[in-house]
């Protein structure tokens, strides 16, 4: 996992890098304050343990757009469905979510500046996170597909060569996984 660089925080124009995301000092601390008050830090679902979530649900569209631009994520508009007369007065909310490695990088960078309760939420969210590194490079995937197509090797033979489960090899060969890798 990439290192978090917090350099010369007292200077107004310096950059703070969290994984793939980069912020000015003002942007970073504005986001810290906003997430402290309005954000959430969620544990991943058991079915998808490497996807902790940092998010914000807010009724101010401008603020949601600013967060989305800073984090490179889309804004999702959620309309409240009126079930009775009292819900008709609710404004729509706007959601921005950061998931996976980027979320973990942000949580680690934000943690020292959060209150104790938020720090505990962050700790719970990243407790079982394991940095997922792709087991096979793009060249390995091309070799697997070449062995299957050109040399008529079976999934079992290819799985023995690469030390992976035959079903995983089948999914790679049938383009159910790693569709972006072309021969």
Contact 79, 92 (CB under 8 A): yes
**Start-to-end Cα distance in the chain:** 29
Contact 80, 48 (CB under 8 A): no
What is the reported pLDDT for 58? 92
- Please give the chain's pLDDT, 183 residues, in tens: 344 444 444 455 688 888 788 899 999 999 999 999 999 999 988 877 778 999 999 999 999 999 999 999 999 998 766 565 566 667 888 999 999 888 998 999 999 999 999 999 999 999 877 665 557 888 999 999 999 988 899 988 998 888 777 888 888 999 888 877 877
What is the reported pLDDT for 102? 87
**Site of tokens 């959430």:** 40
Contact 47, 64 (CB under 8 A): no
Domains assigned to the chain: 5-126 (3.10.28.10), 138-173 (no CATH)
Query: How many Cβ atoms from other residues are within 10 Å of residue 20's Cβ?
Result: 11
Which H or E run contains 21? strand 21-24
Give the C-alpha distances (Å, rounded to integers) separating 2 from 8, 23, 103.
19, 15, 12
Give the C-alpha distances (Å, rounded to integers) separating 131 from 55, 76, 83, 172.
20, 27, 43, 21
């Amino acid at each position: 996992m990439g290192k978090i660089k917090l350099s010369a925080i007292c200077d107004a124009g310096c950059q703070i890098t969290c994984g793939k995301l980069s912020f000015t000092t003002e942007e970073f601390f504005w986001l810290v304050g906003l997430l402290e008050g309005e954000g959430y830090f969620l544990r991943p679902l058991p079915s998808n343990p490497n996807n902790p979530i940092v998010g914000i649900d807010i009724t101010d569209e401008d603020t949601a757009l600013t967060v989305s631009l800073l984090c490179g994520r889309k804004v999702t508009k959620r309309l409240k469905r009126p079930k009775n007369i009292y819900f008709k007065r609710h404004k729509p909310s706007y959601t921005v979510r950061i998931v996976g490695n980027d979320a973990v990088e942000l949580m680690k960078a934000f943690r020292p500046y959060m209150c104790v309760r938020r720090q505990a939420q962050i700790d719970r969210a990243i407790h079982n996170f394991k940095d997922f590194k792709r087991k096979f490079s793009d060249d390995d995937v091309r070799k697997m597909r070449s062995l299957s197509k050109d040399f008529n090797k079976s999934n079992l033979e290819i799985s023995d060569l690469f030390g992976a489960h035959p079903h995983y090899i089948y999914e790679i060969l049938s383009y159910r996984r790693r569709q972006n890798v072309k021969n």
